[in-house]
Amino acid sequence: MKLSKVLYRQHIGFMFKKHWLIQGKRVPIDTGLEESLKAKGIPVEDALEFVKEKQEPRERFEIIGPHEHIKPLDENHPDYKQRPCLTLKHTSVLLEGISQAQVLTKTIIAEDKLPHRIEELAEVSAPKAIHEGVKKAILSANVFDCEQKKLPKIKESERPAFNFPRILGISDRRRNEILTNKLLQLVEKSNDVEVTQNKYVVNEVECHSVFDKEGDLIQFQDVSGILVTSNKPLKHELSESDIPFIEIPDLYPVKHTVTLPPEHFYDENSKYPLRPSVSKKHPHTTWLHFNRTEVGNLYETPVTPTQILGRSLTHAFTVASAYAKQLHGEDVKDLPEPIHINCIQTDGQRFHFGVFELNTLNVDGTDGTKNVWYCKNDVKLYDSSRYLSGMPVLENYNPNVYGYINAFYNC
């Protein structure tokens, strides 16, 4: 059957049924009258709006209900502060990593060099039993723990749509906590009573440090995985003569405050976790955990190694400056005596050791007294620790790491 004859037939009734829909939408022709009247100053009002009854403004009652309303966090909140404070939190990292941390804290870096005493103590080899203990600690953190949590999804770039089976296992926060606590326990066991009785070991403490740099109020909020404190301040003899320092870099065109989001609700006083009345309040070593699931960039790309190293520098600065402000007051600028702090950052496999010397809290510009950061980065403790064909396996254990940890505890 030829369709064209049927298709070309028109039923006028169809047009009548649909025509009102089309005629119901009329676009008025713009004669320009409204604009010319407005130009002469004559007010023009829509007729339908004019005809509507105007509502009288009624009195608002503040009804006190069963619960107090939660006030929204905007300018009208009583705790709102006009001056924004740029905050670096435990879960965020700096954009330029260690270079930006250098500029923010006015620090010069001695790459791959730790104080002599630590290097000497690290070379002392520990007995075999201790290394066996360390291997047991690694296995118990990675393999033998019974936590079953959903680990992050595995994605392959060549097969982006494929959903791999979800793996349950030990979360990285728990793995780091177990490993660091067991390592510290081993170190304490192998040392004399006189050394251990002078030290406190505190877990999961927060330090806040608020300071001013070139007109911006900056706040570092950090959480120590483990903070080891002692009854006398830490002292390092450091010979600065022949060390090639990495000077404070110029970050142009990026400003040093990038990736520090401004916040209007903050506390202007720095916080140090231990009260001044405690006898063992002087910070000795701080252990920082790097948990890949918790710490990340705002733009959701993986954290780079420079960003991880910058994080340990800012953490050491936070603890040292919070302690300095508790000792000398909030507004101290140049310290009478330098404050030293040891810092160890780990993500379970890689260890970054550092010693921070705080000389001044006046971080404006690049002249004057500067703080110093001695570091030894990226020391691997082991290559892999997992179940391999049913058997728990630890590959390529590195005994040097324990030497450094012991040296850091004993100095």
Partner 1 sequence: MALNRLFASLTLSAAPSVIGRKTVQVTAVRYASMPKPVKPKPGFGISYRRTVHFPEEYTVKPLEVTNLAGRDPVSGRLVAKGIGGGIKHKYHWIAWVRDGPTEGPPQEEKVIQVLECGCRTAHVALVAVGDKLKYILATENMKAGDIIKTSRHLPRIPVRANEGDAYVLGALPLGTIVHCIEKEPGTGGLYIHAAGTYGTILRRQNDRIVVQMPSKRLFSFDEHCMAVVGRLSNVDHGDTPIGSPQRNRWLGNRPRSGLWKRKDGRHGRKIRPPKPVKEIHARKKSPLPAIVLNMTP
> Where does this chain bind partner 1 (CB under 8 A)?
21, 23-28, 30, 95, 160-161, 252-255, 257-260, 298-301
Helix (H) or strand (E) holding 262: strand 262-263
CB of 252 to partner 1, least distance (A): 8
What φ, ψ does residue 282 adopt, rounded to 5°? Answer: -75, 125
User: Of 8 and 299, which has the nearer Cβ to partner 1?
Assistant: 299
Closest CA to 183 of 341, 405, 404: 405
User: Of 37 and 298, which has the nearer Cβ to partner 1?
Assistant: 298
Question: What SS3 class is residue 264?
Answer: coil
User: Of 127 and 215, which has the nearer Cβ to partner 1?
Assistant: 215
CB of 30 to partner 1, least distance (A): 6
CB–CB of 340/359 below 8 Å? no
Alpha carbons 179 and 182: distance in angstroms, whole number = 5
Burial of 117 (0-12, 13-18, 19+ CB in 10 A): middle
Alpha carbons 156 and 139: distance in angstroms, whole number = 28
User: Of 124 and 298, which has the nearer Cβ to partner 1?
Assistant: 298
Helix (H) or strand (E) holding 139: helix 128-142
Question: What SS3 class is residue 75?
Answer: coil
Q: Which residues neighbour 409 within 8 Å (Cβ) at sequence distance 6 or greater?
A: 184, 187, 188, 191, 195, 228, 285
Sign of CA dihedral 349, 355, 358, 363: negative
User: Of 155 and 380, which has the nearer Cβ to partner 1?
Assistant: 155
Question: For residue 284, what are its two tokens?
Answer: 């000795």
Q: Which residues neighbour 245 within 8 Å (Cβ) at sequence distance 6 or greater?
A: 108, 109, 110, 372
User: Of 206 and 216, which has the nearer Cβ to partner 1?
Assistant: 216
CB of 371 to partner 1, least distance (A): 23
CB of 300 to partner 1, least distance (A): 5
User: Of 96 and 357, which has the nearer Cβ to partner 1?
Assistant: 96
Question: For residue 44, what are its two tokens?
Answer: 């023009």
Question: For residue 351, what are its two tokens?
Answer: 């260890």
CB of 27 to partner 1, least distance (A): 5
CB of 150 to partner 1, least distance (A): 20
DSSP per-residue letters across 374-405 = EEEEEEES-SEEEEETTEEEEES--THHHHHH
- The tokens 């002087």 sit on which residue? 282
- The tokens 């012991």 sit on which residue? 406
CB of 12 to partner 1, least distance (A): 20
User: Of 122 and 260, which has the nearer Cβ to partner 1?
Assistant: 260
CB of 283 to partner 1, least distance (A): 31
Question: What SS3 class is residue 204?
Answer: strand
User: Of 130 and 254, which has the nearer Cβ to partner 1?
Assistant: 254
